[in-house]
Structure 1
Amino acid sequence: MVSSDSDDDAYDDLDFDGASEDNDNIDEDILDALEEDLAAAAAAEATDGEEDTDSTTSDGGSDDDDADEDRISPHKDLEQVLTQTLQEAAPPSKPASPIIESPVGVQAPQPPPQVRPPSPAQIRKTKLLSGVSWPRSFTVEAICAIPHPCATHALASSLCMSHLLTGSDDGYIRDYDVFAAVNGKVFLTAPQRQHCGVIEGIMKAGQIRCWWENAIPEVKTEGSAGEGPLYPVYSLAMQSDALWSLAGSNQGHVSLHTVRHAPGRLCHVMRGHRGPVSALSLQYDEKGFFSAGWDGEAIHWDLNTGSMVRKFTAHGAQLTAIAVRPLASNYIHNSWNTTQGRELAGPMRGPQQPTYGAQTQGQSLKQDDDARSDTSYDPLFDEPDAGADGDGNGAPASFAPSGNAGQSHMPPTGQHLGRGAIAPKGAPPILDPATYATFSPDLLMTAHVDGQVILWDRRVHTPGKGVGRMWMSEKTPPWCMSACWSADGNQIYVGRRNGSVEIYDVRQTGEAGMGTPRIMKTLRNPLSSGVVSCVVAFPDGRHLACASTDNIRLWNVAEAREPDHYGKVKSGVQFKIIPGHHGGYVSQMLVDPAARFLVSASSNRGWHGEHTKTVFVHEIKHLH
């Protein structure tokens, strides 16, 4: 017979195991029931043991297997009782989630990320530019004239050109309806024709929606707000859906006004410049903007808070233009790009391997650049210092060049373009291949009145890093009033005082110039045309409108060739005259994204020069 001590130990162990599994779910009643079951089982075992002893004595012993079965059977019965009791007392458990077996090294498929539906503004932009196919050439004609009482410094328009804003020297901002003007039957009167200088032909008049003052209310001593003085508008920018606009004044502040709803209501005033705000440029998402001023600083503003985010300060020269590099995803490819036009439609980044064939071609196109520039050389402004070397000297420690400073007077691409212009004091170094290779495509371009064009990497916030200026010949006059990006963001067009437009290739590819911005070509107007006061790129990536004192010219940049030693071009005249403007400086031009209208305004923008008092609206016809 099995001893009672061992049985008690076995029962205690089973009781402990059962309690440990789910002790919290078994109450006192269940424990009492278990004790009664244990006592009954022990009594039954004792009775069976005595019977087994008697039978063993009488039979002379029993088989070991029968004894083992007798010893184990009570345990099995007790285990069944405990298991059934625990199952009844335990709460129902959640069914186990099925385990998906996946092969080794292969992850289970993730659910697709949620995509935010496009906003109504994005839908309108998509429909506006859908189905646009660029022609081989354009014809531009003036169809509408808008007389103004004074010079017009700035222009801005909505994406669809339904709202056109003009900012004038009298301190008023005027909102015009372009479609009502070009589709209407209101023509210029005789006094208006005389005012606009339109003598021949029939031209339609502008249709104004509303106007408001560019003024800041003054707070009086008793706490009430009074009318403030009017500030001339030197720069404008508008939201794509014409919800609000920005106006930069001659006193250094930028005002935020509503346009479509409660037009002209002043929402906020941003102060940061110490002089006139010469240019404005919106971000891609239109949640911030950049402003350029005569104080030599460019400021990044946050429209959500109305506060200043960052300052871009170079060498203190007045800023004339500022622009964010266009997104390549917004560019509509032009099917008319030829072999020469491929230079304008290359990728943003490519292999950093030099292509010697492209370098040789560039050398042959540029080997006589200095000889042609002698005709525009002005000793009054262009005479270099006798004791100064070409480009690269005078940069402070914060703008220390990363390359060899002793050879910075030569073009970074190895082209024989002559000596570089003298580096202004405090200017950043010239971009070299090693430095420019680290730049991101998110670039900001600033143009200065002394002719310098500087690129900023917006993602770099370390002082002296992520900034560099474009190489400029010592024969280039130190004067620049306008610069802009091409539609695809691969080129920069810079208007010069000698009647030329320099085209910089800024692609980071080996074919374009071993990864460094270089002067790809130069467009030269006739010597009698005067200075280039404004340039604007067409959205097809091939054409450029260039405004001089006499006329506005339309250039096909992709097919333009440079003149030979005698100033002649084998392909003949490479530009078209855009009628309308004649005489005076053109302050700003703009072209809508679908290339339907071109608008031009005239003023000297605060500098010395003549101007007119007319804003012309031109119709752009596509020639397929």
Structure 2
Amino acid sequence: MSKDDFLDDKALNQLEEEDEEEDDQQHENEDDLFEDALENNMEMDDTEDVVMGDGDEEAEDEEVEEEEDEEVVTRSKSNGHMAASTSNGSHIVFDDSGSSDIPEHVLKYTGRRNIPLCTNTDSCEGYDIVPYVAAIHSCPVHAIDLSWELKWMFTGGQDGFVRKYDFFASVNGKLPLTVAQRHPFVDCVTKAGVLTSYWENEQPVYETDIKPKDGLYEPKLSCVYSLAAHSRCLWLLSGLQSGGITLMSVRHNEGQIQAYLEKHTSTVSVLVLNQWENRLLSGSWDKTVNEWDLDTGNVVRTFDGISGQVSTVQYQPVGGAIVSRNLGLEGLDSDRTARGKEILEGDEEEDDDKSMGSLFGSDEEEEGESEVKKEEVDVAADKEASESVKPGDGDGSEEPTRNTTSESIFLTSAIDGTVDIWDRRQQQRITRIAVPQGTPPWCMSACWSTDGDRIYVGRRNSTVEEFSLRGNVHEPSKVFKFPSVSGAVSTVAAMPNNRHVLCGSHDNVRLYDVQSSKQQAVPFWIVPGHQGGILSSIKVDPSCRYMVTSSGDRGWSGTTSTDVALVYEIDPIVGTKNL
């Protein structure tokens, strides 16, 4: 081998070694770049969400319209915000503090879209409410819920079964009542509820605890005390006596348990979904309220310290009075508070001596007389408290839709008569409304007014108390009385005109005019249909076209029940004075 050939081989080997080193270095650099990119993507998923402005929303809407068939929207929770992810990788973040500004293209996937009210229902002077559908059961009906657009109606009873009714087929008269079935109802009730299916409210058990009988497994049933239906009826939540909550499929494989939520130690009496339907508030006889994340099945927070078994949980309507730790104390001095207490309690003995046996009462027992006196206490307080309200949040400058509720503020009532107001963003309750002096310690139902400024509480002594958040919330601003023979007020519901409240007693349902004057002889109207049994709930659909009542004691009073759910039609009354 010549010297030149040796040098050429040496140079070639050196070049090959340098090429191998460069390749190794390139692979190492690529691996480092990949790891850095992966870490950056993970950080972007956690922190770099895009908050949409008005212009971004319009651009996003145009892009979604072009890719509507291919887009898939999912939800995730990050840093206290609700994030909706689209198929193109972009993220839309919404504040989880009660804002209702949800883009339509995202909201349509949740099902809880705003439903407009029927004409004049929010400005009328009264309502004509007539029943004409009866869903007859063989047991007390403790719970009832409706799909958001009234396609289906669900009822739960003492027998441990969940029943599913076709709402539209029922109101359209697809199945008439027989002569025998029509006998206990008024003449206008001629249609029967169209029952499409039913299934057991089953208590899940471990395989080791299963004891087959004659070779067959018999499910353990639980009374249905609470229901919460998905807006599009994909699933249904049901509370159990053991304290568990079952999530059952509805549209496919009806009644099959898909998830089991276990935290409470006693009967689950209330279930309430939020606007996005990814959070659940559950109230129980164990004196606690749990907030569930339905995406994970975990408890986010437990609201404890409630003084009795939970009977009501309800979110505050958007646009209501501001709720703070000083609720009921702003603008009030001790003299005005003492004077209010004197006015409220001064005529107690005199009122007890008056006869309440007559349906319409006498001229001397006008409820308006005491209400006018109480209004004198609240006029100054309302004026001072309203000065601290921010614009667009309860001062009338912005009129929200009736079916939009807060994501943070809610009330709870206990069977011992107390009412608590909570804010999910705070560690402790905002305030507690104690039972006023001389009032029986009992409450099966409480509700917000439509504007979110007042709370109505049903009492055992045939009264409904009104508490104003713009005045002294610890004393009732008004007390609405019914005849003593009417029995306890077991359920209340506010109407969208912010003037009338539905009150369900043992004898019948009354529509009370909370703005009735002293000259008005009868401050309420009797709604025909229900008679002679305790009511468990009153549901008014989001458009205020239909109303549903159910009869049952929810496991508390032990009184009689009519074992029926009635469907009513609501027509607004316009242009009539002094109804």
Is the TM value for this pair above 0.5? yes
| Alpha-carbon shift at residue 493 of structure 1 (Å) | 0.9
The correspondence of residues 497-516 of structure 1 with structure 2, limited to 5 A, is 497-506=460-469, 512-513=470-471
Once residues 476 and 501 of structure 1 are traced to their aligned partners in structure 2, the CA distance between those partners, rounded to angstroms, is 11
Give 1:313's aligned residue.
Answer: 304
Are 1:182 and 2:174 counterparts? no
Are 1:297 and 2:288 counterparts? yes
Note if contact 1:545-1:552 (Cα within 8 Å) is conserved in structure 2.
yes
Match of 2:199 among 199, 202, 212: 212
Are 1:582 and 2:545 counterparts? no
Give 2:481's aligned residue.
Answer: 524
Stretches of structure 1 lacking an aligned partner (at least 5 in a row): 1-109, 329-344, 378-412, 417-432, 507-511, 562-568
Once residues 526 and 279 of structure 1 are traced to their aligned partners in structure 2, the CA distance between those partners, rounded to angstroms, is 29
| Alpha-carbon shift at residue 519 of structure 1 (Å) | 2.1
Are 1:609 and 2:559 counterparts? yes
Are 1:621 and 2:576 counterparts? no
Name the amino acid aligned to 1:495: G
Name the amino acid aligned to 1:520: S
| Alpha-carbon shift at residue 529 of structure 1 (Å) | 1.0
Aligned CA distance change for structure 1 residues 274 and 364 (closer, same or farther; 3 Å): closer
Note if contact 1:215-1:229 (Cα within 8 Å) is conserved in structure 2.
yes
| Alpha-carbon shift at residue 531 of structure 1 (Å) | 0.8
Once residues 299 and 594 of structure 1 are traced to their aligned partners in structure 2, the CA distance between those partners, rounded to angstroms, is 29
Name the amino acid aligned to 1:592: D
What secondary structure is seen at the aligned counterpart in 2 of 1:198? Answer: coil
Once residues 173 and 317 of structure 1 are traced to their aligned partners in structure 2, the CA distance between those partners, rounded to angstroms, is 27
Note if contact 1:348-1:490 (Cα within 8 Å) is conserved in structure 2.
no
Percent identical residues: 34
Note if contact 1:374-1:475 (Cα within 8 Å) is conserved in structure 2.
no
Aligned CA distance change for structure 1 residues 224 and 619 (closer, same or farther; 3 Å): same
The correspondence of residues 292-441 of structure 1 with structure 2, limited to 5 A, is 292-328=283-319, 354=331, 367-372=343-348
Name the amino acid aligned to 2:219: G
TM-score when normalising by structure 1: 0.61
Once residues 354 and 370 of structure 1 are traced to their aligned partners in structure 2, the CA distance between those partners, rounded to angstroms, is 24
The correspondence of residues 162-173 of structure 1 with structure 2, limited to 5 A, is 162-173=151-162
Match of 1:146 among 135, 147, 151: 135
Note if contact 2:341-2:475 (Cα within 8 Å) is conserved in structure 1.
no
Once residues 442 and 210 of structure 2 are traced to their aligned partners in structure 1, the CA distance between those partners, rounded to angstroms, is 47
Aligned CA distance change for structure 1 residues 373 and 120 (closer, same or farther; 3 Å): farther
Give 1:549's aligned residue.
Answer: 506
| Alpha-carbon shift at residue 540 of structure 1 (Å) | 3.1
Q: Which runs of 4+ in 1 moved over 3 A?
A: 110-117, 119-128, 130-133, 199-202, 216-227, 345-356, 359-366, 372-377, 413-416
Report which stretch shifted further, 546-555 or 481-490: 481-490
Are 1:118 and 2:109 counterparts? no
Give 2:411's aligned residue.
Answer: 445
Note if contact 1:444-1:456 (Cα within 8 Å) is conserved in structure 2.
yes
Name the amino acid aligned to 2:471: G
Once residues 293 and 331 of structure 2 are traced to their aligned partners in structure 1, the CA distance between those partners, rounded to angstroms, is 41
Match of 1:263 among 244, 254, 260: 254
Give 2:70's aligned residue.
Answer: none
The correspondence of residues 216-231 of structure 1 with structure 2, limited to 5 A, is 216-221=203-208, 226-231=217-222
What secondary structure is seen at the aligned counterpart in 2 of 1:234? Answer: coil
Give 2:115's aligned residue.
Answer: 128
Give 1:482's aligned residue.
Answer: 445
Give 1:392's aligned residue.
Answer: none
Stretches of structure 2 lacking an aligned partner (at least 5 in a row): 1-52, 61-91, 93-102, 354-374, 379-384, 390-405, 575-579
Give 1:236's aligned residue.
Answer: 227
| Alpha-carbon shift at residue 122 of structure 1 (Å) | 4.1
Match of 1:455 among 400, 405, 421: 421
Once residues 111 and 167 of structure 1 are traced to their aligned partners in structure 2, the CA distance between those partners, rounded to angstroms, is 44
Aligned CA distance change for structure 1 residues 240 and 309 (closer, same or farther; 3 Å): same
Note if contact 2:340-2:377 (Cα within 8 Å) is conserved in structure 1.
no
| Alpha-carbon shift at residue 485 of structure 1 (Å) | 1.4
Between the two proteins, the alignment pairs up a number of residues equal to 425
Once residues 440 and 328 of structure 2 are traced to their aligned partners in structure 1, the CA distance between those partners, rounded to angstroms, is 35
**What CA deviation, in whole Å up to 9, does each residue of 1:282-328 have, x standing for no partner?**
12221111111111111111101111111111154211111122223
Name the amino acid aligned to 1:118: E
Once residues 442 and 373 of structure 1 are traced to their aligned partners in structure 2, the CA distance between those partners, rounded to angstroms, is 41
TM-score when normalising by structure 2: 0.66
| Alpha-carbon shift at residue 168 of structure 1 (Å) | 0.6
| Alpha-carbon shift at residue 161 of structure 1 (Å) | 1.5
